[in-house]
Amino acid sequence: MNINAKTGIAANDTAEMLVFYLYEENKKIHTALEPFDTSFNHAISELLKNKEFVAKLNNTCTLPTYGKFPSQRIMLVGLGKKEDITIDKIRQAAGTSVKTAQNMGIKKVTSIMDSMEISAQKTEEWYQAFTEGVVLGLYQFKKYKETKPEEEKEIKILTLLLSDKEVLPLAKEGIRRGQIIADAVSFARDLVNTPSQDKTPTILSNIAKNLAKERAITCKILSVPDLKKLNMGGILGIAQGSTQPPKFIILEYNPRNKNQDTIVIVGKGITFDSGGICLKPAKGMEQMKSDMSGGATVLGIFSVLAQLKVPQRVVGLIPCTENMPGGSAIKPGDIVKFHSGKTAEVANTDAEGRLILADALAYAEKFHPDAVVDFATLTGACVVALGNIATGMMGNNEELKNRIKIAGEKSWERVWELPLWEEYQELIKSDIADIKNTGGPGAGTITAACFLSKFTEKYPWVHLDIAGTSWSEKNNAYIQKGATGVGIMLILELLKNWKKFPKEK
Ligand code: BES
Ligand code: MN
Ligand code: ZN
């Protein structure tokens, strides 16, 4: 689909369908809609007056133009109350409108952007969000389905029509950014939705290597002999039970700017989590192909850093392995020794994420990071605590947590903090090793983060538990059932406004 912006008048537009956006409380219809209302004998005003169409978010209504305008149809899309509008609702309304049009078999759509009443300062943001909603709303994972050509419906051209040519450059910039970011999210969603058989650690490494075609990006893959040399007992321990060899992906984006900060992003890359010897129940186990969502988020980010000309140095680390119960699998009670030299007793082989992340987080020190953020589908307890609305956040640095909280609100990939108080650290003490990988029945998300915190003492660090937010159980306006690609919009927003990170005294 081609998405473009231009100036013009709705009544003269030749697209098959024109889309108008309406606020719930607006009594008078928008000026852009007036010529249509007049020529339809005020049918639109009547609809609104009689509440046959109420402009609640995602409500739609289509009307034919009976040959009175170059365009055959118009669609009304509700935005809800104007005072309650958010970036998320713009994405939703955008997604809803293109999905509805596409299902009707329409190929050429024009969105009447003036009807959204965008304030001058918000132009770029709203066009970006709108574009994200369009692209992500139409996202589908169809690679493994037989497609019948007659079922193929696709919008070919979407024009965002506006009247003020002064704002056109800002609108275009918003569309450009939105398109790039939404493509990155779609790329991550594809990876997460892909069955485990087709995204082994080796396959993911090759995908990562492909991203290094960009001049500013390099990619290095550590295999078993390298991991042994580096004493990465966590990732090696978990990989023991699988016939697939583990890989440790290292991506580096370096735009070579003066004064740049180094930000390391770590992503959990369990390409299938069976639980290992502490085998998970069969019901719902298929969803554990998504246990590499953190890794997919890192790959998604790296797919667009160069295009977006991000000025900071960014390092991506993805420890990749399956967690399987093979004959040589790690057993409850075994002790692993990490890259940092610390040891852990494996009380439960299903708490594998923290073991592979421990090695990756310890390794992150090598890059002298100004900040480290990790993404991991780490605990079922996080799904219980926050559902799929907020990502769980824990960390050791107030400034970094604050920046991520703000970026979360701006991108609508919101995070919610849980405490990492030292009392919780008691729960992961082991009788025979430095720590153990479970913390008992309570505070599962926090004790998992406590475990990670033992490897992040040298730098500002935030852990994001995306167990709930990386997967959607149902279809929404711009998030379909399955992978969400969470975290990419958040980090790109964080990097967009990144200021030199204060060194701690
Ligand atoms: N990958 C899972 C966590 C998970 C659960 C992600 C549900 C997405 C949806 C993780 O490896 C795991 O199994 N965690 C255990 C830890 C426990 C054994 C301490 C859990 O949460 O049950
Ligand atoms: Mn597990
Ligand atoms: Zn897992």
User: Where among 112, 129, 160 does a domain terminate?
Assistant: 160
Q: Give the lowest-confidence range in 25-34, 137-146, 219-228, 243-252.
A: 25-34
Residue 291 CA: nearest ligand 1 atom is: 1
Confidence of residue 152 (pLDDT cuts 50, 70, 90): confident
**Per-residue CA distances from 494 to 20, 311, 406, 471, 497 (Å):** 32, 12, 8, 22, 6
Q: Are residues 107 and 32 in the same domain?
A: yes
Give 457 or 150, the one with higher predicted confidence.
457
Residue-wise pLDDT for 401-415, tens only, equals 999 999 999 999 999
Q: Would you say the CB of residue 306 lies under 6 angstroms from ligand 1?
A: no
Query: Active-site positions?
Result: 280, 354
Evaluate whether residue 424 is within a structural domain: yes
| Listed residue (223, 216, 195, 219) closest to 207, CA to CA | 219
Residue 348 CA: nearest ligand 1 atom is: 18
Evaluate whether residue 176 is within a structural domain: no
Q: Are residues 108 and 235 in the same domain?
A: no
How far, in Å, from the CA of 377 to the mean position of ligand 2? 9
CATH number of domain containing 112 = 3.40.220.10
Q: Which ligand is nearest to the CA of 381?
A: 1
Confidence of residue 150 (pLDDT cuts 50, 70, 90): low
How far, in Å, from the CA of 490 to the mean position of ligand 1? 23
Q: Are residues 231 and 92 in the same domain?
A: no
Percent of the chain with pLDDT over 70: 99
Evaluate whether residue 51 is within a structural domain: yes
Q: Are residues 190 and 116 in the same domain?
A: no
Residue 438 CA: nearest ligand 1 atom is: 19
Confidence of residue 28 (pLDDT cuts 50, 70, 90): confident
Mutate to test the pocket of ligand 1, among 235, 286, 289, 379 (most ligand atoms within 8 A of CB): 379
How far, in Å, from the CA of 448 to the mean position of ligand 2? 11
Q: Helix, strand or coil for residue 471? A: strand
Q: Are residues 150 and 222 in the same domain?
A: no
**pLDDT above 80: residue 64:** yes
DSSP for 197-227, please give it: GGS-HHHHHHHHHHHTTSTTEEEEEE-HHHH
Confidence of residue 147 (pLDDT cuts 50, 70, 90): confident
Confidence of residue 81 (pLDDT cuts 50, 70, 90): very high
User: Where among 100, 127, 160 does a domain terminate?
Assistant: 160
Q: Would you say the CB of residue 438 lies under 6 angstroms from ligand 1?
A: yes
Nearest CA to ligand 1 atom 22: 380
DSSP for 243-301, please give it: SSPPEEEEEEE----TT--EEEEEE-EEEEE--TTSPPPSTTGGGGGGGGHHHHHHHHH
Evaluate whether residue 426 is within a structural domain: yes
Residue-wise pLDDT for 262-307, tens only, equals 999 999 999 999 999 999 999 999 999 999 999 999 999 999 999 9
**pLDDT above 70: residue 343:** yes
Percent of the chain with pLDDT over 90: 97
Evaluate whether residue 171 is within a structural domain: no
Nearest CA to ligand 1 atom 14: 379
Residue-wise pLDDT for 383-392, tens only, equals 999 999 999 9
How far, in Å, from the CA of 118 to the mean position of ligand 1? 43
Would you call 326 exposed, middle or buried from its count of C-beta atoms within 10 A (0-12, 13-18, 19+)?
Answer: middle
Mutate to test the pocket of ligand 1, among 323, 350, 438 (most ligand atoms within 8 A of CB): 350
**pLDDT above 80: residue 139:** yes
HSE (CB half, 13 Å, CA atoms) of 13?
32
CATH number of domain containing 272 = 3.40.630.10
Residue-wise pLDDT for 302-335, tens only, equals 999 999 999 999 999 999 999 999 999 999 999 9
Nearest CA to ligand 1 atom 8: 467
Cα–Cα dist 167/182, whole Å = 22
Residue 278 CA: nearest ligand 1 atom is: 18
Q: Would you say the CB of residue 470 lies under 6 angstroms from ligand 1?
A: no
Domain span at residue 480? 183-496
Confidence of residue 484 (pLDDT cuts 50, 70, 90): very high
Confidence of residue 347 (pLDDT cuts 50, 70, 90): very high
Q: Would you say the CB of residue 467 lies under 6 angstroms from ligand 1?
A: yes
Cα–Cα dist 358/236, whole Å = 12
Residue-wise pLDDT for 50-63, tens only, equals 999 999 999 999 99
How far, in Å, from the CA of 191 to the mean position of ligand 2? 19
Q: Would you say the CB of residue 350 lies under 6 angstroms from ligand 1?
A: yes
User: Where among 127, 160, 193 does a domain terminate?
Assistant: 160
Q: Are residues 91 and 132 in the same domain?
A: yes
**pLDDT above 80: residue 142:** yes
Mean of per-residue pLDDT scores for the chain: 97
**pLDDT (0 to 100) of residue 323:** 99
Nearest CA to ligand 1 atom 13: 350
Residue-wise pLDDT for 170-218, tens only, equals 999 999 999 999 999 999 999 999 999 999 999 999 999 999 998 899 9
Confidence of residue 505 (pLDDT cuts 50, 70, 90): low
Q: Are residues 272 and 230 in the same domain?
A: yes
Across 139-166, average pLDDT:
91
**pLDDT above 70: residue 2:** yes
Q: Are residues 288 and 422 in the same domain?
A: yes
Q: Are residues 58 and 204 in the same domain?
A: no
How far, in Å, from the CA of 467 to the mean position of ligand 1? 8
Evaluate whether residue 52 is within a structural domain: yes
**pLDDT above 80: residue 482:** yes
Residue 447 CA: nearest ligand 1 atom is: 19
**pLDDT (0 to 100) of residue 26:** 83
Evaluate whether residue 111 is within a structural domain: yes
Q: Are residues 142 and 13 in the same domain?
A: yes
Cα–Cα dist 368/66, whole Å = 66
Q: Into how many domains does the chain fold?
A: 2
Residue-wise pLDDT for 357-369, tens only, equals 999 999 999 999 9
Q: Are residues 376 and 318 in the same domain?
A: yes
User: What is the value of pTM for the model shown?
Assistant: 0.98
Nearest CA to ligand 1 atom 17: 351
Evaluate whether residue 268 is within a structural domain: yes
Q: Are residues 211 and 316 in the same domain?
A: yes
Confidence of residue 504 (pLDDT cuts 50, 70, 90): confident
Residue 280 CA: nearest ligand 1 atom is: 13
